[in-house]
Structure 1
Amino acid sequence: MKRFIFLLSAIMLTGCSREFVESMYDVNYEPTNRFAKNLAQLPGQYTKDTAAFDALVNSFSGNIEKRWGSKEIRIAGKSNYVKYIDNYLSRTEVNFSKGTIVVETIASTEPKEHLRKAIITTLLTPDNPSQVDLFSSKSIKLEGQPFLYKQVLDEDNQPIQWSWRANRFADYLIAHKLKVKTVDFKKAYYVEIPMVQDQIRIRSYQYASIVRKASRKYGIPEDLIYAIIKTESSFNPYAVSWANAYGLMQVVPKTAGRDVFKLVKNRSGQPSPEYLFNPENNIDTGTAYFYLLKNRYLKGVRNPLSLEYSMISAYNGGAGGVLNTFSRNRTRAMRDLNSLQPNQVYWALTKKHPSSESRRYLEKVTKFKKEFNANKT
């Protein structure tokens, strides 16, 4: 218990990074109520004033709890999008892993009209994360291409791009799919909207030209970039974690982002959340970090396949975690790693890595990489 309290105190005092947290604990980066106070900061706000940010996030989670109760706090994460509107009376959760969308309201007056507005907002939310404040109930300016375009079909099996179609589908859902439940002693009206079966593939196509450009620029295979994005965010451009990781490739500004700025781009400082919420910047930065892993931190790994396994593992748990799998002594670790066949390196990194999350991570990425190549043929 003391160690847990120390961890939370250290995070609040120093800021959190994936490497710092994983050096102490195996962490599932999906959002939980327990870690609501340590959410990543808002785009463009409180980049230096951490006290102001902590106050803001406490207020955000407190507003949710006031409306929905302590057991019904939902917050955006790596593979889910959550947005509150209507002074926290209505919300949407898109679960990209399950392919489901739940839109609900606890408004006590004219609940169907509140729900209708929330459905329309969900269907027309733009594909521009920098314009959507995930950590407030601010309204969204509905313009440009919807980020759920082609991933949801209306009652006529048509994609929803325009306001008239979104309005009509909202009316249909309320007339035919409306459900009611009790939330914190309140009546909640909601609808469940299924996403199309190939919703992940549809989102991945949006970034094909960006992935190709980054692949050629840094010499990192396209299939590896796609597999990392699928593992990190399920191609959710709004992905954010309490560990201060942002966007499609879940780049941590203070670690990978800072390294890329300094060692690849010759820039000072670190990327801002706005910078990383831009898909092109995010994929470029994440791929550039792979370039550093390949050509700097793990350049001593001789076998190309062993190097790839090491890079994948290091993207999640750091290069130090990879080497510590083989020995605490860096020179000996590299020697031992190079003495093994690639399948033995894979076995060690998926069975003996200090972090259980990093062990699973390498398995997921290699699986998605195989799936990507199988679907290409």
Structure 2
Amino acid sequence: MKRRDLIRSAGLGLAASAVAAPAIAQSAPKVQWRLTSSVPKVLDAIFGANELVSKYVSEATDGRFVIQNFAAGEIVPGLQALDAVQNGTVEVAQTPLYYYTGKDPTFACFTTMPFGLNARQQNAWYYHGGGRELQDAFLVKYNLVGFLGGNTGTQMGGWFRKEVKDLSDFKGLKFRIGGIAGQVVAKLGVVPQQIAPGDIYAALEKGTIDACEWVGPYDDEKLGFVKVAPYYYYPGWWDGGPTMNVVVNRGKWNELPRPYQAIFEAATAYANADMLAKYDARNPAALRRLVGAGAQLRPFPQSFLDASWTATNELYAELSAKNAEFKKVIDALIAFRNEEYLWWQVGEYPYDGYMIRARSRG
């Protein structure tokens, strides 16, 4: 006799029915959200994080909580993703908050800052260093709830049509670089341009811009920048550990059953870790291919790095004098950064430095 028949024959059919059904399915409503991203689908390591979140949310709720994913431009342009969530056009967006420094420079602190935190430090600050509490307090006035949804790791400095050998070579240079970093380089005579990811290649090819920064080898290869700008500079000092933020309409978030909220948060945390792992795994081979295709690797001139460091600290002081909320967040972030590098100086950096030298020796 089958187990189900045995239970029913004992007069426990009703109880068996309750046991057999997943607990969440008994009281869980059907919820369907739309997510808009700031990136095109071709950037699969970033856009793929949305698909992971949707997959785990759906599986954990037995298909009752569904999130449909849309790339930049399918519902709204990539640089309007946050606004679409804020006004309720969609429920959720995957977008770097530093795209919205025109609203308030404080947004940038929760993605990445020039000479800020690396990826591990960014996670540490968010989860255990007070960053999440600061973000929650900031986003509430925009009707948003925020989560970490990925990290690329330290990015490259970008692609340049012409070689830059000294600080003077940057004056007048039209550089696709957004947010706070754009304000920093503007102090050095650069003309910053904020252009959505899908439009960068055309602008570089036509000469509308002289240089661009995007992410790193894996994504940059997909966008084909090596074909039109052969000089590939590093490091991206403005993107030491850039977060791909996920923002949810606060009203829609509050409507979710608590189990759904927990599932969504767990799914974004997994996607956050998975994205960084993908880039760490895929960047080395992509860098080799780019060099094989003609990319000429160059470190930024020391004069440019030093001037950028000075300009960054000047800008932080200027913004802090005008914006108390920015001052509160950037002071906390810098204090955390300085404490972190006390450990990095002793543990992480000596180990990595030795291993890099050992590799060079063969």
Does TM-score exceed 0.5, indicating one fold? no
Question: Which bin holds the TM-score, normalised by the shorter protein?
Answer: under 0.3
Q: TM-score, normalised on structure 2?
A: 0.24
The one of the two structures with greater contact order (alpha-carbon pairs below 8 A, sep at least 6) is 2
Q: TM-score, normalised on structure 1?
A: 0.23
Kindly name which structure, 1 or 2, has the bigger radius of gyration based on alpha carbons.
Answer: 2
Which is strand-richer, 1 or 2?
A: 2
